[in-house]
Amino acid sequence: MRIAVISDVHSNLPALEAVMEDIGRADPDEVWCLGDLVGYGADPDACTALVRDVTEYCLAGNHDLVVRGDIDVDYFAAAAGEAARWTAKVIGPETRDYLAGLSPLGERDGVGLYHASPRDPVWEYVLSVSQAAECLEGQRQRVCLIGHSHVACYFHTNGEGTVGEPAPPGTEVDISSGKWLVNPGGVGQPRDGDPRAAWLLLDTDRWTAEYKRVEYDVERAAGSIRAAKLPRQLADRLYEGH
Ligand code: ZN
Split into its structural domains, the chain has a count of: 1
Contact 185, 212 (CB under 8 A): no
What pLDDT was estimated at residue 159?
84
Residue 129's Cβ-side half-sphere holds a number of Cα atoms within 13 Å equal to 8
Q: How far is the CA of 142 from the centre of ligand 1 (A)?
A: 24
What pLDDT was estimated at residue 106?
98
Residue type at 187 in one-letter notation: V
Q: How far is the CA of 172 from the centre of ligand 1 (A)?
A: 24
Q: How far is the CA of 57 from the centre of ligand 1 (A)?
A: 17
Q: How far is the CA of 237 from the centre of ligand 1 (A)?
A: 14
Distance, in Å, from the CA atom of 224 to the CA atom of 9, rounded to the nearest integer, reads: 15
Q: Do strands 30-33 and 208-214 pair parallel, antiparallel, or not at all (unpaired)?
A: unpaired
C-alpha torsion sign, points 10, 13, 16, 20: positive
Supply the CATH number for residue 125's domain: 3.60.21.10
**What is the per-residue pLDDT across 53-98, written as a single tens digit (0 to 9) for each?**
999 999 999 999 999 999 999 999 999 999 999 999 999 999 999 9
Q: Which domain holds residue 210?
A: 2-239
Q: How far is the CA of 25 from the centre of ligand 1 (A)?
A: 25
Q: How far is the CA of 226 from the centre of ligand 1 (A)?
A: 19
Which of 66-80, 83-97, 204-218, 226-240 is predicted least confidently? Answer: 66-80
